[in-house]
Structure 1
Amino acid sequence: MRVDAATLPDLLGYDSLADHGLTRHGLKRLIESGEFERIAPGLFLRAGLTDDTTAAWTAIAAKKPDATLCLLTALSLHELTDEIPTRSDIAIPRGTQPLTVHHAPIAWHRFDADTFEIGREEYALPGGLTIGLYSTERTLIDLFRLRHTWGSDLAISALKQWLRGRGNSPAALLTMAKSFPKARPSIQDALEILL
């Protein structure tokens, strides 16, 4: 019996094929016909549903629920930079392994498990999934915390733009920064200069 591809969910995994009356052979036919594409080992997305970057994020979200968009990728999503990321910056808790992903370049960052959840929100993806996204404040803190790698200019520029936004609270930023003692003094100094 042939399954109608239109009735299938947008995201399929080997573990859910039987739930949809599909065999691996049937899935192979769907891939060969161009209706689905492999986005990670054992994970398939309806072809043409999204761009390669979002397909990679979808694969990561399905396999690594704690993965979180961070640094320049998060800054771009929060519209606090004109830089266009050439890769996706994704944080995972220190001690966990990254995922092999096809189609898009990924830069994996390992963040301390004790502070990993601070400022973590959700970002909606196709197939009903979400991936973690650090809040604007957490992203700014991470840029200051990692300024030796990312450069102070990016952190200062993003902070300036953030300060111009409505409802943004330097006090809330400094409160969150208390959990990151290496970043807090430089954020405080920058705020004193800019305000």
Structure 2
Amino acid sequence: METLRPKDAQDLGMSKSSLYRATQSGQYERIARGIYRPADAPAADWDWIEAATRRPDATICLTSALAFHDLTDAIPDALDVAIPRGARIPATEAAINWHLFAKTTFDLGRTEIPIPGSDLHIGLYSPERCIADAFRLRGDLGYELGRDALREWIRRGGKPAELMATAARLPRAKGPILQALEMLT
């Protein structure tokens, strides 16, 4: 089911006020300011929908992406979403931590996945990119996050050469990952 914004209501043959009335009568659910879904739509993650609707280039990163890839036991208290540096950080109602990543490396390890229960897509960083980001941002995220994710990734058969190829393209990632790999292997 498509999310609906008041400015797009005319495409369905309804005015903004008829959309609001339909919401009050229970035909639509309000996800966030200016974002609605049909009430009978399948269950979906509203935080993901809000992030993808507010920024089409939104990409799940850091702890949220590591949790998605099942490489950490940490449960993020907010959805970590990256957007290119210089972009405007949107106002959101959902618990979203917006991170600004360099434009030159923003697409490194990025893929798009469908949001379950929706026809929207959201970006997601690869496990290698997430591990490299955890190491390069270890001062903010904690030193254990990257190390534990790396240990689990290697246990599952991750290839250190692929990780090092990604880390070499990101600032402040290659050295700490090399040290951690030497200690783990």
TM-score w.r.t. length of structure 1: 0.87
Gaps of 5+ in 1: 1-8
2:99 counterpart (97, 106, 109)? 109
Which residue does the alignment assign to 1:4? none
1:177 maps to 2:167: yes
CA contact (8 A) 1:93 1:110 kept: yes
Structure-2 residue corresponding to 1:93: 84
**Identity across the alignment (%):** 41
Counterparts of 2:132 and 2:5 in 1: how far apart (Å)? 36
Residue 121 of structure 1 contacts residue 133 of structure 1 at CA under 8 Å; is this kept in 2?
yes
Separation (CA, whole Å) in 2 of partners of 1:138 and 1:76: 13
Q: CA deviation at 1:49?
A: 3.9
Q: Does the CA contact (< 8 Å) of 2:109 and 2:125 recur in 1?
A: yes
Distance (Å, rounded) in 1 between the aligned partners of 2:105 and 2:181:
23
Matched, 1:50 2:43: yes
Write the distance in 2 (CA, Å) between the matches of 1:138 and 1:63. Answer: 23
- In structure 2, the residue corresponding to 1:118 is in which secondary structure? coil
What are the superposed Cα offsets for residues 114-169 of structure 1, whole Å, 9 maximum, x if unpaired?
Answer: 11110011121143111111110000000000001111111101100000113x21
CA deviation after TM superposition for structure 1 residue 35, in Å: 2.6
> Can you list the C-alpha shifts for 1:74-115, whole angstroms capped at 9, x where unaligned?
01100011111111111111111122222x211111111111
Which residue in the other structure is 2:129 paired with? Answer: 138
SS at structure 1 position matched to 2:57: coil
Write the distance in 1 (CA, Å) between the matches of 2:99 and 2:15: 36
Runs of 4+ in 1 over 4 A off after TM superposition: none
The question of 1:13 aligning with 2:14 is answered: no
Unmatched runs of 5 consecutive residues or more in structure 2: none
TM-score normalised by structure 2 residue count: 0.92
1:191 is matched with: 181
Using the alignment, how far apart are the partners of 2:73 and 2:82 within structure 1? 22
Cα deviations by residue, 1:14-69 (Å, 9 ceiling, x for unpaired): 23212211211221111102232233443212347435xx2122122123111111
Q: Which amino acid aligns with 1:12?
A: L
Matched to 2:91, the amino acid is T
Q: Number of matched residues?
A: 183
Q: Secondary structure at the match of 1:11?
A: coil
Helix, strand or coil: the match of 1:72?
Answer: helix
1:26 aligns with 2:18: yes
Whether the 8 Å CA contact 2:2–2:120 is kept in 1: the answer is no
Shift of 1:178: 1.0
Paired with 1:181 and 1:62, the residues of 2 have a C-alpha distance of 30
Q: d(CA) in 2 for partners of 1:127 and 1:77?
A: 18
